[in-house]
Amino acid sequence: MLDIYHWEPNANSGKPLLAALEKGVEFQSHYIDMLAFDQHKPDYLVINPAGTIPAMVHNATLIFESTYMIDYIDMAFEGPALRPADPYELWRMRWWCRFFDQYVGPATSQLGWSSFVGPMVRERDEEELKAAIERIPLKERRMAWSKAIYGTFTEEELAESRARLMSGIAQIDEALTDHDAIAGDQFSIADLAGFMMLFGLPVMFPEAANDERTPNFMSWLRRTARRPSVQEGLSIGKNPRFAQRFQELLNGEGISDA
């Protein structure tokens, strides 16, 4: 049995969910409310002592790190392959996964924490928030949560994130000029990872991603969004703001899906 512990089907939490749905793998969904700090509570720390989400448990074995979780699902279960057989496309898939994780992903995350996660969590009791931060096991996560809650991201940090997204999305758009998928012609792990990280960007930061500036990127986002696995995965969430972003993406004008 496969158990997936996740928040909203967005960014990292969405990756293993969509991978399992894409391959037709049965799994048990466990919703962990990140905004309520469920991932730092004792019951969850028994499952994943690092207190991070998502996490998977397969045959009593803990699997973590979201991009590698997709790779694990593809290797461990039957179903449509999520890794290209062609060596060059496999290299491209891995290169793009690294690009998402190390370049545009942190920038997207910082803007999201600054404009969405922080303001929502900030509505809670101040002493409750202080205690919640102190319970976070990993130092770097304590620092990130503290910045989000108290709104202490500097203008320089936010400007750097916006600059990375402007250049990064343009690079993705160029790569999609001659291909329907990120790694080539086959839908792969890179498409799942990239879509989950970036599908809200046209709403959150439209200067970087729009039909005029990045038409190939927008077409790829909407193509991916229409996949049955993606639509089912996004329906697992509970926060209406993510569903709204998804619908705004699909309902956008000027769509070119050629």
Mind listing the pLDDT tens digit for each residue in 218-244? 999 999 999 999 989 888 988 777 777
| pLDDT (0 to 100) of residue 214 | 97
For the chain, count helices (H), then strands (E): 14, 4
Residue 211 pLDDT:
94
Q: In the prediction, which pLDDT does 255 show?
A: 38
CB 183 within 8 A of CB 93: yes
Helix 240-250 and helix 215-225, axial crossing angle in degrees, nearest 10: 120
Residue 96 near residue 146, CB atoms below 8 Å? no
Q: What is the pLDDT of residue 118?
A: 67
3-class SS at 238? coil
SS3 of residue 5 by DSSP: strand
| Distance spanning both ends of the chain, measured CA to CA | 40
Write the pLDDT tens digit of every residue in 212-222.
999 999 999 99
Is the torsion defined by CA of 35, 240, 209, 179 positive or negative? Answer: positive
What was the pLDDT predicted at 138? 76
User: For each of the chain's 258 residues, which pLDDT tens digit applies?
Assistant: 899 999 999 889 999 999 999 999 999 999 999 888 899 899 999 999 989 999 999 999 999 999 999 999 999 999 999 999 999 999 999 999 999 999 999 898 888 877 777 666 666 777 777 777 777 787 777 777 777 777 778 899 899 999 999 999 999 999 999 999 999 999 999 999 999 999 989 988 999 999 999 999 999 999 999 999 998 988 898 877 777 777 777 776 433 343
pLDDT at 55: 97
Residue recorded with tokens 């991201």: 153
* pLDDT at res. 102: 93
> Where do the domains of the chain lie, and which CATH numbers do they carry?
2-76 (3.40.30.10), 87-250 (1.20.1050.10)
Which has the closest alpha carbon to 22: 185, 197, 224, 218? 224
